[in-house]
């Protein structure tokens, strides 16, 4: 049974009084969630919602095995990560083993933003240069450097104009909109490579290039084939590092691939991980080569009091055990393929759905007013999300035009839940929003 119904309005005004405006929350009139179970959330009135959004909670809400492991470790030991204890070594070995052999050195932190910040600083230390290259419309975090490479105007309308001078960007390699659509999309790579050369010729060769390996913030859009290979080669030609931000798309969610960079057929020099690896617990990591990690000694300092603490490390190991034992990557592949197929069927009947992006349980139905001009249906998407919430489905938009649903649920998402989501969306698109 749910807890006694809270006064949702008064809780919201208390939140507003104690938080700043920039600390946003989902929905103008959000449900008050008091518990979760698998891919479901329960509000204070006992109403159950389908959670299509929570990529953080990778193994599902309130997983009993994770709950038990955390409780046990807390009761034994949790401490500053400078001490020597088994859990951190065991987890770091397990994490490194998931990556290509060259990526064998692990830094544990507490969030994706920290991981990205450290990754960029590793590149700066590696090259002794400040300049960094990122793709537009990306989100990589809120710390100084991770924010500097984030130019999603959905988060900050002035993003592009307010970059520090050492940050450079290339257009979002989106094959559906922008300068190079459809079979011209490979030109995005040519342009990015040309920019890398131009910056080097101007005396500011980039220390590193960062991109999500699949454009998660952009709506789960696969990068054009060969994009990362081409840009990585160009950046490495000047001694820079290739950084794959796997915070959102990595860790098995794509189904077919554990890491997004596998989909592009490349091996990065630095990988950032967070979200799924802690299933909601603050845990992030940077994995890189021994040589890159060693060079950092001359370029900066690293220590994180709670990064890789005994409890965090046990969380990391237990999440990996659950992913393996419940074959959640396999479920992401199979249930994700089924859900994508059903969403594509829906697109045949509802012209508002212009395309269904993504793989596995990282999907992005994109709403457009016109399939020729690809005019984004931004207001419609917001209204659809509100109606879905009324029908018991938690869904939210992403992308610079806020017209793509970010479907990235707990990886235990069932076929029944996929059917429920499609039925709710079909109803909203049929009866109006």
- The residues of the shown chain that bind ligand PMP, judged by CB under 6 A, are 111-113, 116, 139-141, 212, 216-217, 245, 247-248, 274
With b meaning 16 or more CB within 10 Å and e meaning fewer, what string describes 221-254?
bbbbeebbebbbebbeebebbbbbbbbbbbbbbb
Residues 6+ apart with CB under 8 A from 71: none
Smallest distance from the beta carbon of 248 to ligand PMP, in angstroms? 4
Of 247 and 287, nearer to ligand PMP (C-beta) is: 247
Q: Could you tell me the CA-to-CA distances from 3 to 30, 44, 45, 60, 159 in Å, in that order?
A: 17, 6, 7, 21, 42
Smallest distance from the beta carbon of 109 to ligand PMP, in angstroms? 9
Of 141 and 205, nearer to ligand PMP (C-beta) is: 141
Is residue 242 a contact partner of residue 266, using CB atoms and an 8 Å limit? yes
Of 286 and 311, nearer to ligand PMP (C-beta) is: 286
| Residue that is written with structure tokens 């988060």 in the block | 155
Smallest distance from the beta carbon of 77 to ligand PMP, in angstroms? 25
Of 143 and 204, nearer to ligand PMP (C-beta) is: 143
| Residue that is written with structure tokens 């084939």 in the block | 225
Is residue 134 a contact partner of residue 151, using CB atoms and an 8 Å limit? yes
Smallest distance from the beta carbon of 146 to ligand PMP, in angstroms? 6
Smallest distance from the beta carbon of 232 to ligand PMP, in angstroms? 18
Smallest distance from the beta carbon of 89 to ligand PMP, in angstroms? 24
Of 196 and 274, nearer to ligand PMP (C-beta) is: 274
The C-alpha atoms of residue 302 and residue 381 are separated, in whole angstroms, by 42
Of 209 and 374, nearer to ligand PMP (C-beta) is: 209
Is residue 428 a contact partner of residue 382, using CB atoms and an 8 Å limit? no
Is residue 100 a contact partner of residue 175, using CB atoms and an 8 Å limit? no
Is residue 129 a contact partner of residue 118, using CB atoms and an 8 Å limit? no
**Helix (H/G/I), strand (E/B), else coil: 115:** helix
Of 44 and 116, nearer to ligand PMP (C-beta) is: 116
Nearest residue (beta carbon) to ligand PMP: 112
CA 311 and chain centroid, separation: 23
In this structure, what DSSP letter does residue 178 have? Answer: S
Smallest distance from the beta carbon of 32 to ligand PMP, in angstroms? 22
């Amino acid at each position: 049974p749910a807890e006694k119904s809270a006064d949702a309005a008064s809780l919201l005004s208390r939140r507003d009084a104690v938080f700043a405006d920039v600390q946003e929350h989902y929905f103008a009139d959000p449900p008050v969630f008091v518990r979760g179970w698998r891919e479901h959330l329960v509000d204070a009135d006992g109403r159950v919602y389908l959670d299509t959004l929570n990529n953080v909670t990778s193994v599902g809400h309130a997983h009993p095995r994770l709950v038990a492991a955390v409780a046990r470790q807390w009761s034994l030991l949790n401490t500053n990560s400078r001490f020597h204890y088994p859990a951190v070594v065991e987890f770091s070995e397990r994490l490194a083993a998931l990556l290509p052999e060259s990526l064998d050195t692990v830094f544990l932190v507490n969030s994706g933003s920290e991981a990205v910040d450290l990754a960029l600083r590793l590149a700066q230390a590696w090259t002794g240069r400040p300049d960094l290259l990122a793709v537009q419309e990306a989100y990589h975090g809120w710390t100084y450097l991770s924010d500097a490479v984030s130019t999603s105007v959905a988060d900050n309308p002035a993003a592009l104009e307010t970059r520090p001078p050492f940050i450079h960007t290339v257009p979002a390699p989106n094959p559906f909109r922008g300068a190079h659509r459809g079979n011209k999309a490979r030109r995005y790579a040519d342009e990015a490579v040309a920019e890398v050369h131009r910056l080097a010729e101007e005396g500011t060769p980039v220390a590193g290039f960062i991109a999500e390996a699949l454009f998660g913030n952009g709506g789960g859009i696969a990068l054009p084939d060969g994009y990362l290979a081409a840009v990585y080669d160009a950046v490495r030609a000047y001694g820079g590092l290739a950084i794959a931000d796997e915070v959102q798309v990595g860790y098995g969610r794509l189904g077919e691939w554990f890491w997004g960079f596998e989909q592009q057929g490349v091996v990065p020099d630095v990988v950032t991980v967070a979200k799924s690896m802690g299933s909601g617990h603050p845990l992030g990591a940077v994995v890189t080569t021994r040589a890159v990690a060693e060079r950092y000694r001359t370029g900066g300092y690293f220590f994180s009091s709670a990064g890789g603490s005994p409890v965090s490390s046990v969380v990391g190991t237990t999440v990996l055990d659950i992913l393996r034992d419940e074959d959640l990557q396999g479920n992401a592949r199979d249930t994700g393929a089924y859900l994508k197929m059903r969403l594509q069927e829906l697109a045949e009947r509802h012209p508002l759905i212009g395309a269904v992006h993504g793989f596995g349980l990282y999907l992005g139905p994109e709403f457009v007013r016109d399939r020729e001009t690809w005019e984004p249906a931004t207001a419609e998407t917001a209204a659809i999300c509100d109606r879905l919430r009324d029908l018991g489905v938690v869904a939210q938009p992403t992308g610079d035009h806020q017209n793509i649903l970010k479907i990235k649920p707990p990886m235990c998402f069932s076929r029944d839940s996929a059917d429920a989501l499609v039925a709710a969306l079909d109803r909203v698109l049929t009866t109006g929003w």
